[in-house]
Amino acid sequence: MIPLAVFEEVIDTSGVAARIEVLLPAGVRPRQLRVRTLLAGMCLAQADHRPAHLTRVHQALTALGDKDQRRLGVIADWKHGPHQLTYRQTGYTFALAAGALAKDGPDGLPPGPLQSICDDLLEASIPGEFKDASTALAVDWTDLESFSRPPPARGGPRAGPEASWGHRKNNLLRSEDELFYGYYLSAGIMTREENGPPVPELARRGTLSACRHDPVPAFVPVLTAMPAAGVPPGDILDDSGYSHRVPQHWAAPLRAAGAQLVQDLHPHDRGPKGTHHGAVISNGNLYCPMTPARCWNSGRSPPARQANRPPATTARPPNSPATSSAASPATTPTATTASPAPQSPASSAAPCGPHR
């Protein structure tokens, strides 16, 4: 299990606890549970492979030693003596923090302040000696089932209002996708650069989106915000699920942010589907990207260049040596084309060798 001191260092380095506390309303009596302690309890519950329930967070905090509980405010001195944190107090602080970071209406995408806090926590979790070890990221998404049940057939409220139905590969013999109810989790993991030394595979960026949203464009704002945080993106490694997207939804904004895409080719692009210019051979297969329609409607092609021809002449070619000029009648010069005039039958009397 990861020690408590490690989580406290990550939370303090990111500075997110103080940013959240500023957003919370101030009551008449100070809250016993601070945001810093709440975040530490959430990290402890997840590190111990516990379900992400508030009851588990409360249990993780109350299971600490007496010294840590007093230092974190889990045990506080009240008028009638020491008071240990209750589950109701845990839920109250969590509800205040969630409400301060939530949107006015759920739309299936994380709000900007919440995404920024998650980014800072992940970046602070990377040890200092590895922050500049590599700028390459391996990107992918996976399914994440919700604890909430699907909405009833006749409608009505549900515990997870932003969750929705999604598709995932079931890794079974049949090729059909499997339905699940929940979210898509996208993550960017540190990986070694080309010809670079090995680096630990640490999560550097991540986001969560409802299944009714395409996870690829939902992850783009997270990656394009990295240069502003002092982490310029380098090589982005992804599979064919990303390369087959519309360029404006993935490739164009990432290249504008300075990233270099290293991605697999999609099977749908296999074969001569457009022009052969720029086609590549990968694993013995021809991949030829589809030519945009505007390239086909660019107008009539220019005529092909004609072969060079000898200049036209107005003089008749000289008579054959086998024919006497005196016996030939006078002729009037006529214009000819570029092809030479046919020779007289006498000119064919001279023997000739085989054509080489």
pLDDT in tens, 177-191: 788 999 999 999 999
Backbone angles phi and psi of 161, in degrees to 5: -70, -20
**Integer Cα distance of 243 and 252 in angstroms:** 11
* pLDDT of 80: 87
> How far is the CA of 240 from the CAs of 140, 150, 249, 262, 315, in angstroms?
10, 30, 14, 10, 70
Section 205-230 average pLDDT: 94
pLDDT in tens, 12-54: 999 999 999 999 988 778 899 999 999 999 999 999 888 888 9
- Work out the percent of the chain whose per-residue pLDDT is above 90: 51
pTM: 0.73
Residues counted in the chain: 356
pLDDT in tens, 314-346: 555 555 554 444 444 444 444 444 444 444 444
Residue of 250, 105, 127, 269 whose CA lies nearest to 186: 250
Q: Where do we find the tokens 């010809």?
A: 195
Q: Kindly give, in sequence order, each residue whose CB lies less than 8 Å from that of residue 66, ignoring residues fewer than 6 positions away.
A: 75
* pLDDT of 23: 94
Q: Look at 40-49, 75-84, 113-122, 306-315 and tell me which has the smallest mean pLDDT.
A: 306-315
Q: Are strands 75-78 and 81-84 parallel, antiparallel or unpaired?
A: antiparallel
What is the pLDDT confidence band of residue 265, given thresholds at 50, 70 and 90? confident
Q: Are strands 285-288 and 280-282 parallel, antiparallel or unpaired?
A: antiparallel
* pLDDT of 294: 59
What is the overall mean pLDDT for the chain? 82
* pLDDT of 233: 87
Q: Look at 187-196, 266-275, 330-339 and tell me which has the smallest mean pLDDT.
A: 330-339
On the question of pLDDT at 260 being above 60, the answer is yes
pLDDT in tens, 278-303: 677 777 777 776 655 555 554 555 66
On the question of pLDDT at 275 being above 50, the answer is yes
> How far is the CA of 344 from the CAs of 295, 348, 352, in angstroms?
55, 8, 16
On the question of pLDDT at 84 being above 80, the answer is yes
* pLDDT of 313: 57
**Integer Cα distance of 87 and 79 in angstroms:** 20
Q: Where do we find the tokens 């030479």?
A: 340
Section 215-242 average pLDDT: 92
> How far is the CA of 37 from the CAs of 43, 57, 141, 296, in angstroms?
10, 10, 30, 63
Q: 286, exposed or middle or buried, with CB in 10 Å at 0-12, 13-18, 19+?
A: middle
* pLDDT of 75: 95
**Integer Cα distance of 113 and 130 in angstroms:** 26
> How far is the CA of 215 from the CAs of 170, 225, 245, 249, 300, in angstroms?
18, 17, 11, 10, 42
Helix extents (H) in the chain: 4-14, 16-23, 35-47, 54-62, 66-72, 87-101, 112-124, 215-224, 240-243, 251-256, 293-296
Section 302-315 average pLDDT: 60
Q: What is the domain partition of the chain in residue ranges? A: 4-101, 116-142+184-282
Contact 109, 218 (CB under 8 A): yes
